[in-house]
Amino acid sequence: MQAVITAEQARAITKNRKPLTIARYEDAVAALKECTTLDEMADFDNLADAAAAWAKIYHDDQVKRLAAALKLHAYASMGALAKKIADKRNKESPPRTHGTGRAPGAHKVLMEHGLPRGQASAAAILGRRPEVVKAALQSSKIPSPCVVTWRLSAGKWNLFTKAASWGLFHRATVEHTAGDAARAAVADSPKVQKVLEQAEAMQEWLSVFIKVLKAQGVRS
């Protein structure tokens, strides 16, 4: 799989003709569903890259949008097929013993076919989240596959931090409530206990995350 298409390559591939029309885009999306190999699907990913480069050169907003949409479809298709390949491999492989880690998934299959780690991760996620792809395609500005999956992670992070904030707020309320009876009533509230548990879970997650960053040489 080719990770980057240069402007010169785009000109050569498209011969300066409009690389994507609505009709050709619809044909490409339909053809993706018929592909049986990752390499075939990668051709549509490369077409999307070429069309995006062309659109940038010629300032064509319609082609730019169609290229972004086709790229999402290509990633989702590659991710879905990679999952099938991984599942088939794992089914045919000897049972994994305890402590040997998780079975290789779609992400590994995609990396074996040449996708960089981040792009492979994005394709693997989109392949199992068609509803996310559908929502992204309806955006006023269609994001790239990696941006879509980054937003998913950011959304989880926001929910996590919101839970933690509520937890800290209620903890402070408990600590500053006058009287043992009132303090106990707040502390025993199921809602309070829930957010406190989420806040503590976030603290644990952050500790592990920071350790991973340090192990990779990233300063926290």
**Residue type present at position 175:** E
- Averaged pLDDT score across all residues of the chain: 77
| Distance, CA of 83 to CA of 87 (rounded, Å) | 6
Q: Give CA torsion, residues 86, 88, 91, 93, to 10 deg.
A: -70
- Model confidence over 163-204: pLDDT tens digits? 555 555 555 555 555 455 555 555 556 665 665 566 565 556
- Output b/e per residue, 37-47; b: 16+ Cβ within 10 A: ebeebbbbbbb
Provide the residue ranges of all domains of the chain, joining segments of one domain with +: 7-142, 153-215
Burial of 195 (0-12, 13-18, 19+ CB in 10 A): buried
SS3 call for 59: coil
Whether the CB-CB separation of 19 and 50 falls below 8 Å is answered with yes
Whole-number percent of the chain with pLDDT over 70: 58
Select from 28, 52, 24 the least CA-distant residue to 42: 28
- Residue 114: which pLDDT band, with cuts at 50, 70 and 90? very high
- Residue 220: which pLDDT band, with cuts at 50, 70 and 90? very low
User: Could you tell me which residues come within 8 angstroms of residue 136 by beta carbon, excluding any fewer than 6 positions away?
Assistant: 72, 142, 143, 148
> Whole-structure pTM over 0.85, yes or no?
no
Whether the CB-CB separation of 57 and 10 falls below 8 Å is answered with yes
Identify the pLDDT of residue 120.
Answer: 93
Average pLDDT for 122-140: 92
Whether the CB-CB separation of 154 and 162 falls below 8 Å is answered with no
